[in-house]
Copies of this chain bind each other. A is one copy, B any other.
């Protein structure tokens, strides 16, 4: 189930999105297994919750999702604390001595937050084989070893081969700050279809 602020309003949109994709209502027609609900519906529905909201709105969206729907669950956080208000490329509104992942973990201490997949483009997240036979890396940060194992199994089911556990949730400071070079590479390579392989 996909969560949104106001499902009726989301479904009423008829214009393409910012990337020229058809409106969500059209796409949902081709996805009979997928439901759209309010944030709280989606969180309550899920055995596992993914925060794929814009970083500036993540805490608000998760508050709307509600503790009841998040407590005890694995919460995969793929968001980035990008601040577009100061021009391009965006800066980070939290960094270095704190991270958005830690803000989320502090706001929902009973959720089992795992930061992952925030260092690459959406299309690659569930289909790493689009690039170099999946010979590239993805990172895990989180305080709960079992939650990280659940997420690593999910990532392997998508085809990920090189999954690097960086440690506790504070290590998300590293992967969120990686956006700095990701954004410049996006500019230099003129495509978001790339990823980092940790060669060792």
A187 touching B167 by the CB < 8 A rule? yes
A195 in the interface, Cβ–Cβ < 8 Å?
yes
- Write the A21-54 contact mask toward B (1 if CB under 8 angstroms, else 0): 0000000000000000000000000000000000
Nearest-Cβ distance from residue A148 to partner chain B, whole angstroms: 12
B181 touching A177 by the CB < 8 A rule? yes
Binds B, one of A12-20, A55-63, A69-77, A91-99: A91-99
B194 touching A199 by the CB < 8 A rule? yes
CB-CB < 8 A to A198: which residues of B?
Answer: 185, 189, 194-197
A166 in the interface, Cβ–Cβ < 8 Å?
yes
CB-CB < 8 A to A189: which residues of B?
Answer: 164, 198, 200
A178 in the interface, Cβ–Cβ < 8 Å?
yes
Chain A residues within CB distance 8 Å of chain B = 86, 91-92, 95-97, 119, 131-132, 135-136, 139, 164-167, 171, 173-185, 187-189, 191, 193-200
